[in-house]
A and B are shown apart, each in its own frame.
Chain A
Amino acid sequence: MKRTNELIVGLAMVAVLTVIVWGLFAVGDNMAPGATPFSRDVYQLHMIVLGIVSIIGILVFAAMFTSIYLHRKSRGVEPARFNHSTRAEIIWTIIPILILVVMAVPATRVLIDMEDTSGAELDIKVTGYQWLWQYEYLDHDISFYSALDRDSNYARQIGSTLDPREVENYLLEVDKRLVVPTNTKIRLLLTADDVIHSWWVPELGWKRDAIPGMVNEAWTLIEEPGIYRGQCAELCGKDHGFMPVVVEAVTPAEFDAWVAEQRGETSGSATAAASAEGPSMPEPALAALSREALMDRGEEVYEVHCAACHREDGSGMQPAFPALAGNELVNGDPATHIDVVVNGRPGTAMAAFRDRLDARDIAAALTYTRNAFGNETGDLIQPDQVQPLMDSNLDEGLAASSAQ
């Protein structure tokens, strides 16, 4: 009699809990199956494990609620006296072990697959900065930075008049996307310049930390052309939430066209960081520029590389990020100003821009900050004033600046 009771109530509990769990799945969001063979493996693994743990949960809770329903004092139940059962305890030690083995086998297989970066047809080096990404196509001599797009950046400010809901792909759009070919095994080499970042596009199925001083490897193979969006996943300071990753997968033919276009563009422009490496630097980059050219270029560079901390209006964020408007250093001796931007301020968030920007861009940004936000030094900083400091090593640079 009692056993039948327990069975009926137990089954009812299983049914109720199953409905609840299904309901929760129906209401909620789930992981995206993604766009690569690996991401689909991960998705399947996720669904298998989610299914198994849900069933375990339903069974355990059903037993518990059955007991709560039947074995209560208000029903006049006398407590049983058992407090031990070796057989039961052996069973519920062994069965979980078997279930874990069932989960571990496919997990191991997928993981081994992920670790195999051999046979890649395209290598891209990804460098995390506070708070943007740099992409270098190692085989194509293409390199550029990728930062939060203007609209999102505008809408995200406190007191912004632009509603984030009106910005398309709010916080998930960049000024320049990482363009990759479909159906190509791509190896990504991840590192960082300042603090630890983590490069993550959910639809590729993985994230991997970008660590200063180390190079991590990962690979992907995107099958369908499309735009895949993600974000930095490791806390990297103030604007951690504002450094998206956007990958645009195009057909190999379109990719080749894009590569050709980039090469045409970068050879004429000074944005290529690859060309900033001292001796190989083409001469014209050091040529003097007009005030207008410096100010225009300077504003662009400032917005991407400086405005996150020093704000677009140069007002800074006290106390960590000083205001540039009316700043003593900015309005003072150019040599010290150049030194701080080129070599950074060790022990603070002020980065050394010698590896990030070339002399032209630094000169432009310096000129801009010295003549914007109400600063009126009137002087122009030319690339050839910046270059000597960039050629010297850090110690010499510091010595030079202190000698001045």
Chain B
Amino acid sequence: MTDTTAHIDDHHEQPRGIARWLFSTNHKEIGTLYLWFSLMMFFVGGAMALMIRAELFQPGLQLIDPAFYNQMTTMHALIMIFGAVMPAFVGLANWMIPMMVGAPDMALPRMNNWSFWILPFAFLMLLSTLFMPSGAPASGWTLYPPLSLQGGNSFAFVIFAIHLMGISSIMGAINIIATILNMRAPGMTLLRMPMFVWAWLITAFLLIAVMPVLAGAVTMLLTDRFFDTSFFNAAGGGDPVMYQHIFWFFGHPEVYIMILPAFGIISEIIPTFSRKRLFGYTSMVYATASIAFLSFIVWAHHMFTTGMPLGASLFFMYATMVIAVPTGIKVFNWVSTMWRGSMTFETPMLFAISFVVLFTIGGLSGVMLAIVPADFQYHDTYFVVAHFHYVLVTGAVFAIMAATYYWLPKWTGYMYDERLGKIHFWASTISVNVLFFPQHYLGLAGMPRRIPDYSVQFAEFNLISSIGGFAFGFAQLIFVWVVVKCVRGGEKASARVWDGARGLEWTVPSPAPLHTFDTPPIVDDKVAVHKDQLV
């Protein structure tokens, strides 16, 4: 294999320097670009989060005025969602999906280049609003009208940036679907695909379905703000609540777009370090598809306090509760995969275990939030903030960290520093709970979200939360250190890297050569991660 790839490399012109990255159509290089971009945005968004936590460190306003505080909460969310979490998953998809299905590259390499290179410009535009006279958006990432329409001219830049992000996501999703459906190696039937590939296939369909909805919603905001339409203005015959319906029809699938690939990653890592095949593979596939379907019919559970009719409230409550069933199946299957395995606890496995526990806590508080009368109390409080940070930070972000440690030796050819990795894990897991767990109490005690200052009764838990926030933020510098150290050198990694690893990506050398599987491998039950029970 090494010989063939070396031979093929000779025929490709390899531009150097900046041109190599600007014009690259190689899925591995583009994957790398996505991942570095995501890491940068993670720190930009994180710095904003620390500004928020610094202001909330004690009662009273000390550092930033309320208008800027609102800009920080809004930008933190937009950057973390569209700049950190989504590009990280797309980067992982770029790197791994072709190797996992035995394809030489993504199906549409030039579009792949484009879908990445739109992003830096989109975020440059979004961040530039911070320096404009009317400031960055300050109405929360949901951009609810009429509040969002009070912004100045910088609002047009925000909307254009969101459009660009949407275009990038849609192109990425098309590429992933085309790759998975058309470029699988012979024998790689759909039900032999790794769970990560399945999760991304389903996620990509969600992206194509809902990103245009977001584009429509923000375009209506644009015309309401600048061209005198009244889509969301009651005085002109519009309806402010209609925006919320349209937004959350995008928004709820969006939160699953950020978690389904994480499910896929965890379903790769746990079997590897348990040295046992994934338990209930087919039910995992069906559970993922059911979650995706349900995500389209639960959107209004974000809007229980808007005064919906009783029947609608009941429908959305029941539908939301049903999501617990397929999600529960996934958690039970992960635990059953571990059960009577032969486990070792390298850093990727530690993050995966932490994911299962902490994501489940976020899921359980999600069940509580589904109960409409109780939601009348929880809604728009720190209880909600705690809930979605448990599923997004200790869920999505921890899965991305786990994936990075898991595949880093394959990408760089070197083992990362296991001791540092473990320090990073423990520092992150402890501090993230100090950061977010007390926020459950704050919400139950009555602290609304998105406030820059609070009554003194909330002082203690905010203090604890802020300390956790700073600890978690600085712990991520260890992560950067581990990654940079690993890129620069270390112990050579073998092709298989982990002794329990299965799947095509572990059959190519480490580091993976620029071009893999120019000749497709033949896949059967012995090579595949999962036995195809339908064949």
Say whether A associates with B: yes
Interface residues of A (CB under 8 A from B): 24, 27-32, 41-42, 45-46, 49-50, 53-54, 56-57, 60-61, 63-64, 67-68, 71-74, 77-85, 88-89, 92-93, 96-97, 100, 103-104, 107-108, 110-112, 114-115, 155-158, 160, 163-165, 169-172, 190, 194-196, 198, 200, 202, 205-209, 211-214, 216-217, 230-242, 317, 319-320, 347-349
Q: Does B481 contact A (CB under 8 A)?
A: no
From B152, B234, B314, give the contact of A108 (CB < 8 A).
B314
Known: A28-B438, A164-B60, A319-B152. Contact between A238 and B332, CB under 8 A? no
Closest residue to A75 on the B side, CB-wise?
Answer: B342
Known: A45-B374, A67-B340, A112-B310. Contact between A83 and B455, CB under 8 A? no
The distance in angstroms between the C-alpha atoms of A114 and B314, with both chains bound, is: 13
What would be 16 A-B contacts, judged by CB atoms less than 8 Å apart?
A42-B373, A45-B374, A80-B341, A92-B328, A158-B65, A172-B455, A207-B377, A208-B305, A212-B234, A213-B239, A233-B380, A234-B380, A237-B70, A238-B65, A239-B66, A241-B450
Q: Tell me whether B339 and A63 are in contact (CB under 8 A).
A: yes
Known: A73-B344, A80-B340, A319-B135. Contact between A29 and B441, CB under 8 A? yes
Q: Tell me whether B146 and A194 are in contact (CB under 8 A).
A: yes
Shortest distance in angstroms between A49's beta carbon and chain B's nearest beta carbon?
5
Q: Tell me whether B373 and A107 are in contact (CB under 8 A).
A: yes
Known: A72-B344, A202-B377, A208-B307. Contact between A195 and B146, CB under 8 A? yes
Shortest distance in angstroms between A105's beta carbon and chain B's nearest beta carbon?
11
Interface residues of B (CB under 8 A from A): 59-63, 65-67, 70, 133-135, 138-140, 144, 146-147, 149-150, 152, 225, 233-235, 239-241, 274-281, 283, 305-307, 310, 313-314, 317-318, 321-322, 324-325, 328-329, 331-332, 335-345, 353, 356-357, 360-361, 364-365, 367-368, 371-374, 376-377, 379-381, 437-438, 440-442, 444-446, 448-456, 459, 461, 531, 533
Q: Which of chain A's residues have a CB closer than 8 A to the CB of B65?
A: 158, 238, 317
Q: Tell me whether B70 and A238 are in contact (CB under 8 A).
A: yes
The distance in angstroms between the C-alpha atoms of A31 and B233, with both chains bound, is: 36
Q: Which of chain B's residues have a CB closer than 8 A to the CB of A194?
A: 146
The distance in angstroms between the C-alpha atoms of A209 and B336, with both chains bound, is: 44
Q: Which of chain A's residues have a CB closer than 8 A to the CB of B322?
A: 100
Shortest distance in angstroms between B278's beta carbon and chain A's nearest beta carbon?
7
The distance in angstroms between the C-alpha atoms of A29 and B150, with both chains bound, is: 36
Shortest distance in angstroms between B500's beta carbon and chain A's nearest beta carbon?
8
The distance in angstroms between the C-alpha atoms of A109 and B280, with both chains bound, is: 37
Shortest distance in angstroms between A153's beta carbon and chain B's nearest beta carbon?
11
Q: Tell me whether A71 and B343 are in contact (CB under 8 A).
A: yes
The distance in angstroms between the C-alpha atoms of A190 and B380, with both chains bound, is: 17
Shortest distance in angstroms between B355's beta carbon and chain A's nearest beta carbon?
12
Q: Which of chain B's residues have a CB closer than 8 A to the CB of A217?
A: 307
Q: Tell me whether A200 and B448 are in contact (CB under 8 A).
A: yes
Q: Which of chain B's residues have a CB closer than 8 A to the CB of A195?
A: 146-147, 150
Q: Tell me whether A49 and B367 are in contact (CB under 8 A).
A: yes
Q: Tell me whether B280 and A235 are in contact (CB under 8 A).
A: no
Q: Which of chain B's residues have a CB closer than 8 A to the CB of A77?
A: 340-342
The distance in angstroms between the C-alpha atoms of A96 and B287, with both chains bound, is: 14
Q: Tell me whether B61 and A156 are in contact (CB under 8 A).
A: yes
The distance in angstroms between the C-alpha atoms of A24 and B461, with both chains bound, is: 13
From B134, B225, B241, give the contact of A214 (CB < 8 A).
B241
Known: A45-B374, A349-B150. Contact between A211 and B60, CB under 8 A? no
Q: Which of chain A's residues have a CB closer than 8 A to the CB of B277?
A: 81, 83
Q: Tell me whether A73 and B446 are in contact (CB under 8 A).
A: no
Q: Which of chain B's residues have a CB closer than 8 A to the CB of A64?
A: 335, 338, 353, 356-357
From B283, B353, B379, give the contact of A89 (CB < 8 A).
B283
Known: A89-B332, A100-B322, A114-B373. 9 other contacts (CB 8 A): A57-B364, A72-B342, A92-B332, A164-B60, A196-B146, A214-B241, A237-B150, A240-B451, A242-B453
The distance in angstroms between the C-alpha atoms of A53 and B374, with both chains bound, is: 14
Known: A31-B377, A96-B325, A107-B372. Contact between A71 and B367, CB under 8 A? no
Nearest 3 CB-CB pairings of A with B: A213-B234, A241-B451, A216-B307
Closest residue to A236 on the B side, CB-wise?
Answer: B147
The distance in angstroms between the C-alpha atoms of A336 and B307, with both chains bound, is: 40
Closest residue to A171 on the B side, CB-wise?
Answer: B455
Q: Tell me whether A196 and B147 are in contact (CB under 8 A).
A: yes
Known: A49-B371, A164-B59. Contact between A100 and B281, CB under 8 A? no
Closest residue to B240 on the A side, CB-wise?
Answer: A211
Q: Which of chain B's residues have a CB closer than 8 A to the CB of A61?
A: 357, 360
The distance in angstroms between the C-alpha atoms of A75 and B61, with both chains bound, is: 55
Q: Tell me whether A207 and B376 are in contact (CB under 8 A).
A: yes
Q: Tell me whether A205 and B377 are in contact (CB under 8 A).
A: yes
Q: Which of chain B's residues have a CB closer than 8 A to the CB of A107?
A: 317, 371-374
From A50, A100, A233, give the contact of B368 (CB < 8 A).
A50
The distance in angstroms between the C-alpha atoms of A79 and B391, with both chains bound, is: 30
The distance in angstroms between the C-alpha atoms of A88 and B152, with both chains bound, is: 57
Q: Tell me whether A79 and B340 are in contact (CB under 8 A).
A: yes
Shortest distance in angstroms between B112's beta carbon and chain A's nearest beta carbon?
34
Q: Tell me whether B379 and A233 are in contact (CB under 8 A).
A: yes
The distance in angstroms between the C-alpha atoms of A217 and B308, with both chains bound, is: 10
Q: Which of chain B's residues have a CB closer than 8 A to the CB of A103?
A: 321, 367, 371
Q: Which of chain A's residues have a CB closer than 8 A to the CB of B305?
A: 198, 206-209, 233
Closest residue to B132 on the A side, CB-wise?
Answer: A319
The distance in angstroms between the C-alpha atoms of A232 and B205, with both chains bound, is: 38
The distance in angstroms between the C-alpha atoms of A42 and B149, with both chains bound, is: 35
The distance in angstroms between the C-alpha atoms of A226 and B60, with both chains bound, is: 27
The distance in angstroms between the C-alpha atoms of A31 and B7, with both chains bound, is: 68
Shortest distance in angstroms between B42's beta carbon and chain A's nearest beta carbon?
24
Known: A80-B276, A169-B455. Contact between A317 and B461, CB under 8 A? no
Shortest distance in angstroms between B29's beta carbon and chain A's nearest beta carbon?
36
The distance in angstroms between the C-alpha atoms of A348 and B281, with both chains bound, is: 55
Q: Which of chain A's residues have a CB closer than 8 A to the CB of B318?
A: 104
Q: Tell me whether A71 and B325 are in contact (CB under 8 A).
A: no
The distance in angstroms between the C-alpha atoms of A253 and B451, with both chains bound, is: 38
A190, A213, A235, most chain B CB atoms within 10 A: A235
Q: Tell me whether A320 and B152 are in contact (CB under 8 A).
A: yes
Shortest distance in angstroms between A348's beta carbon and chain B's nearest beta carbon?
7
The distance in angstroms between the C-alpha atoms of A202 and B376, with both chains bound, is: 9
The distance in angstroms between the C-alpha atoms of A348 and B450, with both chains bound, is: 22
Q: Tell me whether B310 and A111 are in contact (CB under 8 A).
A: yes
Shortest distance in angstroms between B334's beta carbon and chain A's nearest beta carbon?
8
Q: Tell me whether A238 and B339 are in contact (CB under 8 A).
A: no
Shortest distance in angstroms between B49's beta carbon and chain A's nearest beta carbon?
17
The distance in angstroms between the C-alpha atoms of A100 and B455, with both chains bound, is: 36
The distance in angstroms between the C-alpha atoms of A72 and B350, with both chains bound, is: 13
Q: Tell me whether B146 and A212 are in contact (CB under 8 A).
A: yes
Q: Which of chain B's residues have a CB closer than 8 A to the CB of A198?
A: 305, 380
Shortest distance in angstroms between A302's beta carbon and chain B's nearest beta carbon?
19
The distance in angstroms between the C-alpha atoms of A61 and B338, with both chains bound, is: 12
Q: Which of chain A's residues have a CB closer than 8 A to the CB of B360?
A: 57, 60-61
Q: Tell me whether B307 and A56 are in contact (CB under 8 A).
A: no
Q: Which of chain B's residues have a CB closer than 8 A to the CB of A110?
A: 373
Q: Which of chain A's residues have a CB closer than 8 A to the CB of B444?
A: 28-31
Shortest distance in angstroms between A183's beta carbon and chain B's nearest beta carbon?
22
Known: A29-B441, A83-B278, A83-B280. Contact between A231 and B451, CB under 8 A? yes
From B70, B225, B275, B368, give the contact of A46 (CB < 8 A).
B368
The distance in angstroms between the C-alpha atoms of A111 and B59, with both chains bound, is: 35
Q: Tell me whether A211 and B278 are in contact (CB under 8 A).
A: no
Shortest distance in angstroms between B54's beta carbon and chain A's nearest beta carbon?
13
From A97, A196, A209, A238, give the contact of B67 (CB < 8 A).
A238
Known: A28-B440, A41-B373. Contact between A93 and B147, CB under 8 A? no
The distance in angstroms between the C-alpha atoms of A60 and B150, with both chains bound, is: 48
Q: Which of chain B's residues have a CB closer than 8 A to the CB of A89?
A: 280, 283, 329, 332
Q: Tell me whether B324 and A96 are in contact (CB under 8 A).
A: yes
B135, B149, B283, B455, most chain A CB atoms within 10 A: B455
